[in-house]
Structure 1
Amino acid sequence: MKITLVGCRGFGRVHLNAYTELRKEEIGKDLEIYVFSRTEEFAKECMKEFDANGYFTSYDDVLKSDANIIDLVVSHDAHETMGVKAMQAGKNVMIEKPIARTEEEAQSLINTSIKKGVKFMVLENHYFDPTVWKAKELMASLGKISLIIVRNTRRNSPPGWRRDKRLMGGGALIDGGIHYIDTMLNLGGEYSEIKGLCKNTFSGLEGEDTSGGIFNFKGGYLGIFMYSWASKSENFSHFEIYGERGSIKEDGVIYSGKPYGNLIVDIEGIKEKMIQIEKINTVKEEIKGFINALIHNNEVPMNPKIALRDLIAVREIYRQCGEI
């Protein structure tokens, strides 16, 4: 299996570390990893640092190669153009979240993958965190649900393309915030409406750096969402679920490679207890799942329509804010 990573900097290094770990497992023992950078010196450095099998400095050469998978860790504006070109060349494609900047770009990627018969998945590592799915399983124990809260705050003033609203497709929400939108929708299900607010304060972005939303879920409960790059990061619960018989809270203690910690369950008739969740590298697990789907010709573990669902919610908050 040959994989070419496009984007050695930033989160691309997280992918490369995941590949290093995968090569220690049975599924990855025959993996060949190639890297791409337009700067040859950096491409060589990246290849040496991560013990890759080779490097490219031309994307056209990547497309002409015999790579089975192209892993795109690039700016949001390049997702559709580079992804579609790869699919048209017969390549299976992984793209870091978000799926794209707009619904139209996202649908173009999905349609092309179907037309060309290649596998396509958005790498949304929060979707692969077992903490979320254990909480979802336990929700039935709460009886009637009243409220779901999902939030994350941090101080972040990124350089480069993330400051550009056009390249990003927005601000902090479409970048880091879409992770937590994914969690909100995985827990809450379908919604009938969203009320959103956004602010641009002092992070240096052209787009918003702080946003909030209220989801009116069809299950009869509310979801309150908050995300910011202009607030101090605190060790609080990243999600909380309240029902008539008690609550389920993520404990806020984050482990390397895993977005969420353990669960604190307080249900009527049961003494409050901590439920320990397996500590996994969610980036490694999502990539491993995609490789497995290719080997066994199965459906990818996260359908790209889920990534489109998440983008639609982000875009609705932007519409409510007057950002688009």
Structure 2
Amino acid sequence: MKRVKVAILGAGFIADIHLESYERFVPEAEVVAVYTRSAEKAKAFAAKHHIAQHFSSIDDLISNVDFDLVDICLPNFLHKEATLKAAAAGKHIIIEKPLAVTLEEADEMIAACENANVKLMYAEELCFAPKYERARKLVEEGAVGDVYMLKQSEKHSGPHSEWFYNIDQSGGGVLMDMGCHGIAWFRWMLKNNKALSVTASMKTVLHKGRTKGEDNSIVIIEFENGVTGVVENSWAKQGGMDDRSEIHGTDGVVYADLFTGNSVLAYSKNGYGYAMEKTDTTVGWSFCMFEEAFNQGYPQELKHFIDCVQHNREPLVTGKDGRAVLEIIYAAYASAGQGKKINLPFSQQAEKPIDLWLKP
């Protein structure tokens, strides 16, 4: 089958991750061009990854390159423009988190892709991370009984690029940067069960002189099916990256730590597995292995979207999922700003989500 031609927009940290994923794990794709706002940086990135063409104008790339989809790895405030231009050119789109800065931008982007009949995938890698997927399958196999609480946390001492600290470019702080992962993973685990309310607490702890954005946040989400989700995020945590999840059920618990060990730690009162596959060895504490691959799921999500383009399938995670995550983020900022629980659906106009906290 013909390889899918990819144009990557961006040349920063996440673009490097995506390129390495394509090169090592997605032979069905060929990255044919790169865009970034700096011509010098675009040239250097192209040379580093042996990409044939490089541009400092999206319009020039679209006009001069034969390609099938764009992989958007740009700062948040550039997502809308890039998406609208790609959709107008009839190109499929995979876009890094968050989907957009505002709900209005998200709606415009989703509508543009639907009108152009192009696919829009929200690149939430936790829905593809091998450990997290092994944990999800344990739940499906009956390991923990009925789930009543999900927890996810991602913490480190601060992001790699300066624009993250500029709330006019990012739209918010650590919640916009990393909280979107936990929220999306909750919805993935719960098959997009409706979120009913959000309660949040946030503050700026470590980076007060660098940003107006929050660098530590705790968000509690109550879902229609009775499950409570707790997402914790921090740019103030010392000692390196921490990314883990917990699944609590009536018959067991599962812990998945992306960066420690090579297994999921689980406790099951009754054992797990489908039908006759259940054995005594799965009762109690066990270490559940996962396939060797990038821990965070980047190559898996990219490979999935390439397959969707090749076979005309709908992505498992779409722009509408990204929009739903953004709505919960809005409610979390409003909750922290007003000091109360916010019910969903939630809609309040704001120049950027963090204004609901800074200017309640």
- Separation of aligned partners in 1, 2:40 and 2:223: 51
> Equivalent residues in 2 for 1:251-270 (5 A)?
251-254=257-260, 262-269=263-270, 270=283
- Separation of aligned partners in 1, 2:175 and 2:310: 34
Residue equivalent to 1:277: 290
> Equivalent residues in 2 for 1:227-246 (5 A)?
227-233=233-239, 238-246=244-252
Residue equivalent to 1:201: 205
- How far the C-alpha of 1:79 sits from its partner, in A, is 0.6
Aligned-residue Cα RMSD (Å) equals 2.2
Deviation string 1:40-81 (CA, Å, 9 cap, x unpaired) is 333222212111122122221112132211221111111111
| 1:75 matches 2:71 | no
Residue equivalent to 1:305: 320
Assess, with a 3 A threshold, how the Cα gap between structure 1 residues 289 and 244 changes in structure 2: closer, same or farther.
closer
**Aligned positions, number:** 315
**Farther-moved stretch of structure 1 (167-176 vs 265-274):** 265-274
- Separation of aligned partners in 2, 1:13 and 1:252: 20
187, 208, 211: which one aligns with 2:189:
187
Assess, with a 3 A threshold, how the Cα gap between structure 1 residues 145 and 118 changes in structure 2: closer, same or farther.
closer
TM-score, normalised via structure 2 length:
0.81
> Quick one: which amino acid aligns to residue 336 of structure 2?
C
Residue equivalent to 1:136: 136
- How far the C-alpha of 1:7 sits from its partner, in A, is 0.8
Assess, with a 3 A threshold, how the Cα gap between structure 1 residues 291 and 143 changes in structure 2: closer, same or farther.
closer
| 1:109 matches 2:115 | no
Residue equivalent to 1:258: none
> Quick one: which amino acid aligns to residue 272 of structure 1?
W
Q: SS state of the match for residue 279, structure 1?
A: coil
> Equivalent residues in 2 for 1:11-26 (5 A)?
11-22=14-25, 25=27
- Separation of aligned partners in 1, 2:268 and 2:41: 54
| 1:225 matches 2:224 | no
Segments of structure 2 that go 5 or more residues without pairing to the other structure are 271-282, 338-353
Residue equivalent to 1:84: 84
**Is the contact between residue 135 and residue 254 of structure 2 (CA under 8 Å) also seen in structure 1?**
yes
- How far the C-alpha of 1:134 sits from its partner, in A, is 3.0
| 1:120 matches 2:120 | yes
Assess, with a 3 A threshold, how the Cα gap between structure 1 residues 278 and 123 changes in structure 2: closer, same or farther.
same
Q: SS state of the match for residue 46, structure 2?
A: helix
What is the percent sequence identity of the aligned residues?
25
Higher relative contact order (CA 8 A, sep 6+): 2
